[in-house]
């Protein structure tokens, strides 16, 4: 290699690679703990999350607990649970004993108690509280959204694809492990409703001005598609005669938007007809299909699809294709619902493979058109 070639290569590296490398965000230990199946995650398999969270719009705080039931699949050691700063764990309890735990950024390493033989099922409960990270540009970043509806009432939700569910609740925050079922019990001021995934089991209204809404998901669920929707909602239900029988359709626009929703959300039926034809039955007949207005553009929250497309066709009223076809259908209804098959029913174990979710959802759009 000539000296001149060496200089040329050095120049190219400086000009081309240098700036690209400088733009890469620094890869941290927290990224490794969040993104890999660490030894502290590998020895146990989540069976059930029993999540209870109180949302207080007065001071933008959450407080609650998650009882995690898991099956031991290998030799036990410390157990990793994720909960992002600035949230704090108050205590971890197993078998009536408080467990020692050590924080390492957004991960906690917990010393379990009692024998943990392979095949056994155990439960530990994590109590936590704090003022969770606020989403600045949901759904593109992540966090809790403390919004207001058109009449100024509190309207709260979360978006955490990529960032992870541990931005608002303590969880094994990897797509490699999903609970077989999950409870989501949301406590909110009793002037508001609290909607989530799956079906409503009951509402407990207390004399202190707070209500608890208990939702139950009977199926496997990704942690990032668990979501609260807290606000003042209208509602109607329908039944869709689908490939696996009667499917409950539960529609929840804001109270101010029921008329627009009744018109625009008729597109749910042709969407289901198309996707059941090409991809097989909707995956969650037991939990039903819900479309619910959210204070952000949209997200594939399982059996509770977030909708924020303004009751217009296209992508916020725009035709991304430039062909005219883009304005013949509602992008968010079609795209986010496609993720029920591609993303929620079939989930990549590693977040690095998210292209599978997005590419097949985009393919589904083409089939729908």
Binding-site ranges for Zn ion (CB under 5 A): 358, 361
Which of 230, 361 has the CB closer to Zn ion?
A: 361
Which residue number, 50 or 358, has a Cβ lying nearer to Zn ion?
A: 358
- Containing H/E element for 8? helix 3-12
- Residue 333: CB minimum distance to Zn ion, A: 13
Q: How far is the CB of 219 from Zn ion (least distance, A)?
A: 20
Nearer to Zn ion, 278 or 355 (CB): 355
Residues contacting 7, CB < 8 A, separation 6+:
none
Token pair 């018109």 is found at: 263
* Residue 13 dihedral angles phi and psi, to the nearest 5°: -60, -45
Tokens (6 digits) for 342? 């591609």
Nearest approach in angstroms of CB 32 to Zn ion is: 26
- Please say which residue, 276 or 358, places its beta carbon nearer to Zn ion: 358
What is the Cα–Cα distance from 52 to 310, expressed in whole angstroms?
Answer: 31
CB closer to Zn ion out of 41 and 296: 296
Q: What are phi and psi of 61, to 5 degrees?
A: -115, 160
Burial of 131: CB neighbours in 10 Å, binned 0-12, 13-18, 19+: middle
CB 336 within 8 A of CB 365: no
Place of tokens 């393919």: 363
Q: What are phi and psi of 240, to 5 degrees?
A: -110, 130
Q: What whole-number distance in Å separates Cα of residue 187 and Cα of residue 302?
A: 20
Q: Shortest gap between Cβ of 277 and Zn ion (angstroms)?
A: 21
- Compute the least distance from the CB of residue 307 to Zn ion, in Å: 13
CB of 85 to Zn ion, least distance (A): 27
Q: Which residue is nearest to Zn ion (CB)?
A: 361
Between residues 62 and 361, which has the closer beta carbon with respect to Zn ion? 361
């Amino acid at each position: 290699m000539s000296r001149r070639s060496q200089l040329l290569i050095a120049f190219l590296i400086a000009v081309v690679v240098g700036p690209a490398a400088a733009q890469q965000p620094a890869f941290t230990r927290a990224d490794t703990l969040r993104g890999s199946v660490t030894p502290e995650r590998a020895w146990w398999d989540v069976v059930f999350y029993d999540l209870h969270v109180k949302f207080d719009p007065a001071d933008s705080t959450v407080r609650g607990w998650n009882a995690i039931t898991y099956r031991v699949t290998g030799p036990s050691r410390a157990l990793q649970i994720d909960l992002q700063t600035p949230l704090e764990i108050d205590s971890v309890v197993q078998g009536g004993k408080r467990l020692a735990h050590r924080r390492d950024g957004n991960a906690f390493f917990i010393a379990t108690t009692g024998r943990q033989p392979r095949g056994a099922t155990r439960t530990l409960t994590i109590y936590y509280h704090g003022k969770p990270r606020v989403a600045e540009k949901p759904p593109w970043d992540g966090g809790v959204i403390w919004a207001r509806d058109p009449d100024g009432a509190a309207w709260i939700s979360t978006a955490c694809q990529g960032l992870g569910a541990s931005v608002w609740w303590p969880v094994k925050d990897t797509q490699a492990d999903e609970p077989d079922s999950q409870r989501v019990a949301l406590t909110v001021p009793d002037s508001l409703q609290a909607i989530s995934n799956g079906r409503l089991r009951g509402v407990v209204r207390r004399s202190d001005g707070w209500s608890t809404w208990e939702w139950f998901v009977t199926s496997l669920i990704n942690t990032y598609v668990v979501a609260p929707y807290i606000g003042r909602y209208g509602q109607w239900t329908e039944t869709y005669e689908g490939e696996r029988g009667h499917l409950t359709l539960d529609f929840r626009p804001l109270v101010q938007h029921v008329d627009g929703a009744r018109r625009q959300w008729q597109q749910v039926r042709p969407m289901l007809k198309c996707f059941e034809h090409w991809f097989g039955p909707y995956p969650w007949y037991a939990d039903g299909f819900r479309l619910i207005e959210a204070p952000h553009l949209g997200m594939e929250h399982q059996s509770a699809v977030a909708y924020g497309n303004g009751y217009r066709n296209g992508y916020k009223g725009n035709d991304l294709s430039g062909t005219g076809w883009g304005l013949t259908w509602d992008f968010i209804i079609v795209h986010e619902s496609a993720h029920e098959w591609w993303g929620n029913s079939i989930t990549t174990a590693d977040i690095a493979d998210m292209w599978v979710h997005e590419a097949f959802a985009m393919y589904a759009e083409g089939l729908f058109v």
